[in-house]
Structure 1
Amino acid sequence: MLRSIVEYYAEHEHYRCGYCKRPDTNYSHGMWAHAMTVSDYQDLIDRGWRRSGKYCYKPTMDVTCCPMYTIRCRALEFKPTKSQKKVMKRVNKMLVGQEQPQLSGDGRRKMSTCSSGSEVLAEGFEEGGEQFVETMREHQDINLDLVNASEISDHNAGEGVGDVMVEKDVTKPDQTNSIAPKEKVGKKESGPDPNKAPCKKAKQMRRERKLAKLKEKGIDVTAINIRQNKEKQIEDFINELPDDVKHKLEIKLVRTTPPSPEWLATAKETHEVYVKYQTTIHDDKPDKCTEPKFKDFLVQSPLLEEHRENGPRCGYGSFHQQYWLDGKIIAVGVIDILPKCVSSVYFFYDPQYMNLTLGTYGALREIEFTRSLHSVCPEIEYYYMGYYIHSCCKMRYKGNFYPSDLMCPETYKWFPLVDCIPKLEASPYSRLDPDLDSVDENFPKESDLNYIPIWVNGAVMLYKAYKRHSAGKKSGNQTSELMEYARLVGTKSAKSLILVR
């Protein structure tokens, strides 16, 4: 049986915030995941954790400057907005040759808003995360064969274990209350002439003429009427392309951990696109985009490869979705496929194709991918977009992927985003659960600590056995630290994850 191995750090230092840019106002707890099952990670992200490479972190919501709420889109109910439809149509026009696929020049311009449709997990991680990465490179001597251990010794104890919407104020402030509106002067019986046919839109008239011609040819137009009246789904926009397109767009799913032959063959080209994106869109220096740092951030993953009888054909774990245009990689979506969702990690693209709004397009394709996985694996229903930060205007675009839910930071239950907005407008940090009697049902008791599996000197034992062997060695401090860890990960994960001491 696969098992997760993690290393928790009790330090709770402040870091620079990647959103408001203040130097020391971002607080989070962190742990290094040597290995992790997809089920354990699903439980962790459903408790507010996220990963960046092998580093997992959970924002301290009530003290951090920009509270980060876990957000998920209900992929099966997703309805694209008008602007999202335009993005898909623009890409389709490019593919059929009606628009140029590339911008002139190098595409260099500073982004005024966050264009990516996926979560940028590096935000708030730069300071502490890189330190953890460097530290943990020195601690890779753990024998991961024990990840497959199905039994845990208790030393004879005998117990098993899109688009920001802006409302325009059309009222003239100086005239609203001071000047009374003039009464309209018109004829007594003004209005449409009842003797004339009602006006029709040109689009409706063209459609009626087209259907009339088809009817004259003996074609049954009933089915056409049904299709026209049905609201277009995201799949309709993706699949409406003709066979003779001028440009070919392919999306290839490649496993990155463990590295597949497909990933190894395209690693260099993928890294080159990443460097272009980071240096152009985010103004990063080249030394921050080196191949080792790229791999630490977006290739290395603690998630163990898993294949289940009723799971998706590709299996669970960490992947890159590569967007190939005419045989060239132009964008990459970094995703995790988990038991209940597709979790977006990052999305980057070649700035030459900035006019296609590929960040939004990538998110739409990932939602469509989630829906396709659901048809094979019904448990997969959600698309996790990372964190929603209402106090940062640039991060509110995630709310445009409708319908979406936010997680309450106190009870870890989900609530519709539209119901949460008034609370977040009143206070950046808010309890989203309206039921004041509701509690965290996964909150640990002190007795639960005894059943936390501990890795010590290559052996795994329960904490109650570990206490006997470490009696007198600051056991009080250890119990306090362990209780904090269990509170952060929840009782279920605390009893499942193997904690390195």
Structure 2
Amino acid sequence: MFHSIVEYYADSQDRCGYCKSPNTNFSHGMWAHSMTVSDYQDLIDRGWRRCGKYCYKPTMDVTCCPMYTIRCRALEFKATKSQKKVLKRFNKYLVGQGTNEKSESTGDGNRKMSTCSSEADMAEGVEQFLESTNVPQNINISNIVKADEDEAFADAKEQSKDEPNVAIESASKPVSNPLDKSKPKEINKGEGYDPAKAPSKKAKQLRLERKMEKLKEKGIDINSLSNKNKNKDKEVEDFINELPDDVKQKLEIKLVRTAPPSPEWEATMKETCEVYAKYQTIIHNDKPEKCTPTKFQGFLVQSPLLEEHSESAPPCGYGSFHQQYWLDGKLIAVGVIDILPKCVSSVYFFYDPAYTHLTLGTYGALREIAFTRQLQSVSPALKYYYMGYYIHSCKKMRYKGNFYPSDLACPETYKWFPLKDCIPKLEVTPYSRLDPDIDSVDDKYPKDDDINYVPVLAKGVVMPYKTYKRKSKKSNFEELLLQYSQLVGVVCAKRMIIVSQ
């Protein structure tokens, strides 16, 4: 049985990638040597995210730009008019219409799901963190001894630096594609999308509805009439599947497992690194030395998530993947995702800047939502699309509200609430308790005795904290362990193995 093994490092204070303040971004962090998908699912539901193998949770009540975990209800998702335009125009591109079209870069087109450039900044900060703390890169669970409560420290053999061996499997999913470069609808005063407002209806649609009502009054069966507004009820999948067989350009989306590295990933690693370097240097103006293959691997390839296959899992299994977008055999975009028991979690999205006119950011998000729904058809519990963090105080990050309906997690009770109901509170103050029930509490908050049963790894031996406490002279570890248990929740605290410091 696989286990999560983590090292907790408490508070950190860094530069904010959103408001650019030099030292106002506060968070808690831990290095994950390995992590089960169930533990990570529970962690992201409590506000954690990962950057490579580093997991972090913003200190919401003090950080400058509070980051709320956002999820889209994929099964209920309805594409907006502008999102449908993206799909339609990409279809036109594939069939050979408008192939030379160019458009201005838009907020949607530059979408970096789960992040803005701050995620890349986080990766650089993680590198400095590892150098300063000397975190050992690998711990092999197979060489760890499980101690009984009454056992003292055992002399454990030196641990191997190899990670747990797990089976390698990859999956691929070819598909046809649509996308576009149209200008988004202008928004008043640059304040971004407001989910609280109902979408306006065009006069043509209102006239059509009035006609339908009159026909119903006359006893005419309107279901037998042709739908004159076919585009209104189209799903993302309808646009994907409507392409003819004889397209001018073929789009194929391949799902490749990156942790552990699959043969498919290793065969395409060079092309992927090249697209990433182009994206970061041109779109984010990063210096080339920040976009090396080594930095890319640490940021978007290495993952603590353990590959898992079970009866409830989709055929590809759970874990970390890249979705590669191949246009006529050329790699043009990559979506970095984690497939978890309840969701597809978007980590990052990057593309070849030569295809900016295709609004690939929005297109990739729509395809990931469609992919979530496809997985849900075989894994019923997997029905959400996690978009990382929603940052209302950063106007350019409000675009995630365009993927409707979506929910935010309350930073105090970790219960979910519709984004449209949260907007009024966030307009008043950047940090807000989103749960309106004043009596509601975090039901995974540890009780006084729970800390005694947190598994601790010391000198190659795993034991409950109450055993460790009798044998150790580290007086400050209990305070650290209590904070860790409160942040990860009692369920994860009792399942995950924390390394003694």
Relative to the length of structure 1, the TM-score reads 0.83
1:165 Cα offset (Å): 6.2
Residues 72 and 384, structure 1, Cα contact 8 Å, conserved in 2:
yes
Displacement of 1:488 in angstroms is: 0.7
Q: Residue 277 and residue 479 in structure 1: after superposition, are their counterparts in 2 closer, same or farther (change >3 A)?
A: same
Letter in 1 for 2:487: L
The correspondence for 1:118, drawn from 104, 113, 116, is 113
Q: Conserved in 2, the CA contact under 8 Å of 1:117 and 1:360?
A: no
Report what 1:2 is aligned to: 2
- Among candidates 296, 301, 322, match of residue 294 of structure 1: 296
Match of 1:208 in 2: none
Give runs of aligned pairs for residues 27-426 of structure 1, distance below 5 A: 27-100=26-99, 115-116=110-111, 118-120=113-115, 122=119, 125-126=122-123, 128-134=125-131, 139-140=136-137, 142-146=139-143, 153-155=148-150, 166-167=187-188, 222=224, 225=227, 228=230, 231-426=233-428
Structure-2 separation of matches of 1:230 and 1:359: 23
Partners of 2:403 and 2:127 in 1: CA distance? 31
Query: How far does the alpha carbon of each residue in 1:151-193 deviate from its partner, in whole angstroms, 9 at most, with x for none?
Result: 6532359xxxx96861489xxxxxxxxxxxxxxxxxxxxxxxx
- Cα distance in 2 for partners of 1:22, 1:114 equals 25
The match for 1:182 is none
Unpaired stretches in structure 2, ≥5 consecutive residues: 153-182, 191-202, 209-222
Match of 2:490 in 1: 491
**Residue 366 and residue 223 in structure 1: after superposition, are their counterparts in 2 closer, same or farther (change >3 A)?**
farther
Q: Which amino acid aligns with 2:493?
A: A
CA distance in structure 2 between the partners assigned to 1:425 and 1:146 by the alignment:
52
Give the aligned partner of residue 445 of structure 1: 447
Separation in 1 of the partners of 2:305 and 2:453?
A: 23
Q: Give the C-alpha shift of residue 231 in structure 1.
A: 1.0
Shift in Å, 1:137 = 7.0
CA contact 1:30–1:57 (8 Å) conserved in 2: yes
Specify whether residues 136 and 237 from structure 1 end up closer, same or farther in structure 2 by C-alpha distance, changes over 3 A only. farther
Q: Which amino acid aligns with 1:166?
A: I
Contact 1:110–1:280 (CA under 8 A) maintained in structure 2 = no
C-alpha deviation, 1:455, in angstroms: 0.5
Distance in 2 (alpha carbons) for counterparts of 1:31 and 1:37? 15
How far residue 360 of structure 1 moved from its aligned partner, in angstroms, is 0.5
When residues 322 and 308 of structure 1 are mapped into structure 2, their CA distance, relative to the original with a 3 A threshold, is: same
The answer on whether the counterparts of 1:17 and 1:123 sit within 8 Å (CA) in structure 2 is no
Structure 1 unmatched runs, 5+? 170-198, 205-220
Q: Which string of whole-angstrom CA distances, capped at 9 and with x for unpartnered residues, describes residues 190-225 of structure 1?
A: xxxxxxxxx999x99xxxxxxxxxxxxxxxx94855
Distance 2:406 2:371 in 1: 17
How many angstroms apart in 2 are the aligned matches of 1:405 and 1:154?
42
Find the residue that maps to 1:376 and give its secondary structure.
coil
Looking at structure 1, the residues matched to 393 and 307 of structure 2 have their Cα atoms a distance apart, in angstroms, of: 37
Give the superposition deviation at 1:228: 4.1
Structure 2 counterpart of 1:50, one-letter code: R
Q: How many Å separate the matches in 2 of 1:140 and 1:356?
A: 39
Distance in 1 between the 2:229 and 2:281 partners?
A: 46
Which residue of structure 1 aligns with residue 460 of structure 2?
458
Flag the 1:90–1:113 CA change in 2: closer, same or farther, 3 A.
Answer: closer
- Work out whether residues 86 and 362 of structure 2, in 8 Å CA contact, stay in contact via their aligned partners in 1: yes
Q: Deviations over 1:32-77 (max 9, x none)?
A: 0000000000000000000000000000000000000000000000
Per-residue deviation at 1:131? 1.8
Partners of 1:250 and 1:39 lie apart in 2 by 30
Cα distance in 2, alignment partners of residues 138 and 30 from structure 1? 13
Check whether the contact 2:123–2:299 (CA below 8 A) recurs between aligned residues: no
Change (3 A) 1:72 1:152: farther
Shift of 1:118: 1.4
Most deviating of 413-422 and 127-136: 127-136
Is contact 2:151–2:467 with CA below 8 Å preserved after alignment?
Answer: no
Q: Residues of 2 paired with 1:447 and 1:319: CA distance?
A: 39
CA gap of 1:226–1:304, structure 2 versus 1, over 3 A, is: farther
Amino acid at match of 1:116: R
**Separation in 2, partners of 1:101, 1:379:** 43
Closer, same or farther in 2 for the Cα pair 1:348/1:69, shift >3 Å? same
Q: 1:326 to 1:492 in 2, by over 3 A?
A: same
* Number of residue pairs aligned between Structure 1 and Structure 2: 441
* DSSP-derived class of the 2:377 partner: helix
Q: Are the counterparts in 2 of residues 55 and 129 from structure 1 also a CA contact under 8 Å? A: yes
Tell whether the 8 Å contact from 1:42 to 1:338 is kept in structure 2 after alignment. yes
- Rate the CA distance shift 1:346–1:453 in 2: closer, same or farther, 3 A: same
RMSD (CA atoms): 2.7
CA distance in 1, matches of 2:387, 2:338: 11
Question: Retained in 1: the 8 A contact 2:107–2:399?
Answer: no
- Structure 1 or 2, whichever has the larger Rg, is 1
Partner secondary structure for residue 367 of structure 1? helix
Task: Kindly indicate whether the alpha-carbon contact (under 8 Å) linking 1:142 and 1:458 is maintained by their aligned counterparts in 2.
Answer: no
Tell me the amino acid that sits aligned with residue 342 of structure 2.
K
Structure-2 separation of matches of 1:348 and 1:231: 30
Native 8 Å contact 2:109 2:360 kept in 1: no
Question: 1:386 & 1:231 partners in 2: Cα distance?
Answer: 28
Distance change >3 Å, CA 394–CA 455, structure 1 → 2: same
Aligned 8 A contact 2:109 2:356 in 1:
no
